[in-house]
Every structure is written in structure tokens, then in C-alpha cells.
Amino acid sequence: MAADECVGVAKKLVKELRRRGFETIAHGALSDTERDDWAWASAAAARDVVEGRADQAIVCCWTGTGASMAANKVAGVRAALCGDAATAAGARKWNDANVLALSLRTTSGAVLAEILDAWFGAVASVEPDDRANIAHLSKIERGH
């Protein structure tokens, strides 16, 4: 997980993930040893996913937009900026998203819990059309 500031739900996210039994790797402002800017922190968390240190990542910045952009620059990442549970569930199901991006400004504690429930409760679709879209994203990423 990554955040560029310890504001909003940043610290609550750490506590909530641990409460749910997840081991976490902290980046940015959540770490005492790393640069806390959103581009650096989000890219570090995204690399954890593609390099196998984590199954998924959660990246945060004030709007969530920069965090999602930085994460999506890492090959193999499908980051989704989610402001509600339905979007989070859809991102996991239809887009096989592996990085959740959140806004530190607009995500309340209650909405955070709903988003995490939906994110972790959803599984990627096995429907051929959905898998074809994910495969096409990989081709686009490789410049095809």
C-alpha cells in the first residue's frame, strides 16, 4: 500500500487491512524510509505486485488520480480509481484490476470499508469476452 500523505483514510487503511488479516508492505508516507511523493510511492507499490511481493496493492493520493496514473505506468498493472463499492467490485470482476486507487480527500471510513469489502469479495470474470479484453490490454501495453 502507498500514500503520499498520512491524511484522510491513510492510517485507517493500514489498520483495516491488518484487522482483515493482510500482511502489508508500506510505501511513501506510510514508510519511514521512502520518498512520499505520489508518483514514487504508487509506482513502488505497483512494482510489488508485478514482481510478486504482493498479490494486490492499494495506492492513495489526495484525489487518487495521480496514484492510479503512476501505478498504471508499471507494466502488468491494472489500477482502478474507485470511489464506491460498485466500482470496486466491477473493477475486480470485469477488469481484473490488481491495484486499487483511492482518494484521501473523498473516501470516508464507512465508504473505505464498503470498497474493501467489494474489492476483496469480487473475483475476476472467466467469461471469454472479459478475458479477451484483459489480454488485449496486455497487447496494448507491449505496443501491439
Q: pLDDT tens digits for 30-82? A: 999 999 999 999 999 999 999 999 999 999 999 999 999 999 999 999 999 99
Active-site annotation holder among 6, 60, 61, 82? 61
On the question of pLDDT at 100 being above 90, the answer is yes
Element (H, E) at 39: helix 38-50
Q: What is the pLDDT of residue 144?
A: 84
Compute φ and ψ for 126, nearest 5 degrees. -105, 5
DSSP for 42-93 reads: HHHHHHHHHTTS-S-EEEEESSSHHHHHHHHTSTT--EEE-SSHHHHHHHHH
Contact 1, 30 (CB under 8 A): yes
Domains present along the chain, CATH in parentheses = 2-141 (3.40.1400.10)
Among this protein's residues, is 6 annotated catalytic? no
Q: Which cell numbers hold the place of 121? A: 469479495
